[in-house]
């Protein structure tokens, strides 16, 4: 969504994307021309291959936000022109997101801070005594919120090794639940560790057949594939703007309104309340909104919300068919390159033939993963991630380790060359030029065959170049 007069604004039109960069990637991103120093000397254009953590902002998004910034004003209830303009922008963004997600007529779109915030919000509105079913393979954002309430019962399901096994495992667990009451299934759309796509439509059918509802963690799916609530038949979808090429710390929870309307507000405060009056006993009586505003107390992040809407429009206009086809080519290029290195083991639940997004994790025989990631950065200007990726149970399962083995979200304490419980993750998307993945594959081969050209040491838990 651009700031234009036909949306009650008078902002300048959005700047066009740089045509010189269009051939490098379908959607130009900020930072595409940033140079970084190499420890071996000289500089190189930075290869951002950590999209699964935070994707770089689209140039289109940045331009839209910049065009709106001079017209920034308070949202809702303001009498001034800029307040009315910003309110229109905020609510139009809600409609854009609803269209992007294929929301049903009665669905609500609630703006949050992130996927984590969205799922914690949902955990807070579940009816008492709801039974929650979640696979151990989930990101911590969708694995942990349910245990924060004493009146919910959480069942953790073992990691499946095929999509069909996931469906069968869920059906069995739901069929044997006692007592039979409200139930929620939480499942990822695409793994943040392996990139593998989960059988969301089939899991939703299984959930509904057994009287349960289902929430889709689409944090890793939405930037790569279309997400349609009605088509997938899920009850809610959660995702983050910062993984969808939109910075500024906003997220979305979209879906069925009934549990959201029946629960107390996620946060108490202005915006969530319709009326507040003193009671005779000295307290206050509050009537809460029944719209999405019920769970959006406080001053909203209008710029973050507008950034999400802009990214949704950019992805839609680019066309997911073309984006998916091109990403599959990059995935094939990375997988083929890694397959030529016997020392590399790519992590997978569902096997080599599984469909996936541009997220792959691997380990390298004889290398500490933190050391390997540090060398990719320092010697090749390539940014990847190492660790357990905030999905500890899943990575432990994939590495065949004991559940009690030590490990952390970030780098391990092990020194370069020592084995440790962590892996390396490379991730990419619509803003990734071919050269970045080609440089990555070449760097992996050179590091494995020739070793690092620099010495490294552990400093505050991170593996860093030793600069003497």
**CA distances (Å), 25 to each of 323, 350, 429, in order?**
10, 29, 9
Give 31's contacts (C-beta < 8 A, 6+ positions apart). Answer: 46, 48, 56
Nearest to 431 by CA among 70, 49, 25: 25
Contact 70, 320 (CB under 8 A): no
Torsion over CA: 349, 354, 355, 361 (sign): positive
DSSP string, 236-255: EEEEEGGGTT--SS-EEEEE
Exactly one of 186, 312, 390, 463 is catalytic; which is it? 390
Q: Which residue has the tokens 């999405």?
A: 292
Q: How far is CA 233 from the centre of its chain?
A: 20
**Residue 79, burial from CB neighbour count under 10 angstroms (0-12, 13-18, 19+):** exposed
Give 232's contacts (C-beta < 8 A, 6+ positions apart). Answer: 200, 201, 204, 216
CB atoms within 10 A of CB 414: 18
**CA-CA distance, 98 to 434, in Å (whole number)?**
32
CA angle 315, 305, 359 (to 5 degrees): 45
- Token representation of residue 440: 């990555």
In the annotation, is 390 catalytic? yes
Backbone angles phi, psi at 405, to 5 degrees: -60, 145
Contact 455, 362 (CB under 8 A): no
First and final C-alpha spacing in the chain? 51
Catalogue the active-site residues. 390
């Amino acid at each position: 969504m651009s700031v234009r007069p036909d949306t009650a604004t008078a902002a300048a039109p959005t700047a066009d994307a740089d045509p010189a960069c269009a051939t490098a990637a379908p959607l130009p991103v900020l930072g595409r021309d940033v140079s970084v120093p190499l420890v071996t000397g000289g500089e190189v254009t930075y290869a951002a291959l950590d999209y699964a953590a935070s994707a770089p902002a689209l140039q289109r998004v940045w331009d839209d936000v910049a065009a709106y910034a001079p017209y920034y004003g308070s949202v809702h209830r303001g009498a001034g022109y800029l307040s009315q303009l910003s309110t229109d922008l905020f609510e139009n963004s809600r409609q854009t997101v609803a269209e992007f997600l294929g929301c049903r007529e009665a669905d609500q779109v609630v703006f949050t801070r992130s996927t984590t915030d969205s799922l914690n919000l949902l955990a807070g509105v579940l009816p008492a005594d709801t039974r929650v079913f979640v696979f151990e393979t989930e990101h911590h954002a969708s694995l942990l919120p349910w245990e924060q309430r004493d009146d919910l019962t959480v069942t953790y399901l073992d990691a499946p090794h095929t999509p069909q096994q996931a469906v069968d495992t869920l059906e069995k667990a739901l069929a044997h639940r006692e007592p039979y009451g409200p139930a929620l299934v939480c499942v990822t759309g695409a793994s943040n560790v392996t990139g593998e796509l989960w059988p969301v439509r089939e899991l939703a059918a299984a959930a509904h057949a057994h009287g349960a509802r289902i929430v889709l963690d689409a944090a890793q799916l939405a930037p790569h594939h279309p997400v349609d609530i009605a088509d997938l038949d899920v009850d809610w979808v959660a995702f983050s703007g910062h993984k969808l090429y939109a910075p500024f710390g906003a997220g979305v929870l979209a879906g069925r309104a009934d549990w959201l309307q029946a629960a107390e507000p996620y946060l108490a405060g202005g915006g969530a309340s319709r009326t507040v009056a003193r009671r005779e006993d000295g307290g206050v009586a509050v009537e809460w909104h029944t719209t999405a505003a019920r769970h959006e107390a406080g001053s909203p992040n209008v710029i973050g919300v507008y950034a999400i809407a802009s990214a949704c429009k950019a992805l839609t206009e680019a066309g997911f068919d073309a984006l998916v086809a091109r990403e599959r080519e990059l995935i094939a290029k990375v997988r083929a390159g890694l397959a030529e290195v016997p020392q590399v083991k790519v992590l997978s639940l569902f096997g080599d033939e599984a469909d996936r997004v541009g997220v792959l994790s691997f380990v390298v025989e004889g290398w500490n993963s933190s050391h390997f990631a540090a060398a990719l950065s320092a010697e090749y200007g390539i940014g990847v991630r190492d660790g357990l990726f905030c999905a500890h149970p899943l990575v432990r399962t994939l590495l065949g380790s004991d559940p009690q083995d030590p490990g952390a979200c970030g780098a391990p304490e092990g020194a370069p060359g020592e084995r440790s419980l962590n892996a390396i993750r490379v991730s990419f998307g619509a803003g990734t030029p071919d050269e970045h993945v080609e440089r990555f594959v070449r760097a992996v081969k050179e590091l494995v065959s020739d070793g690092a050209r620099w010495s490294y040491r552990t400093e505050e838990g991170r593996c860093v170049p030793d600069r003497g």
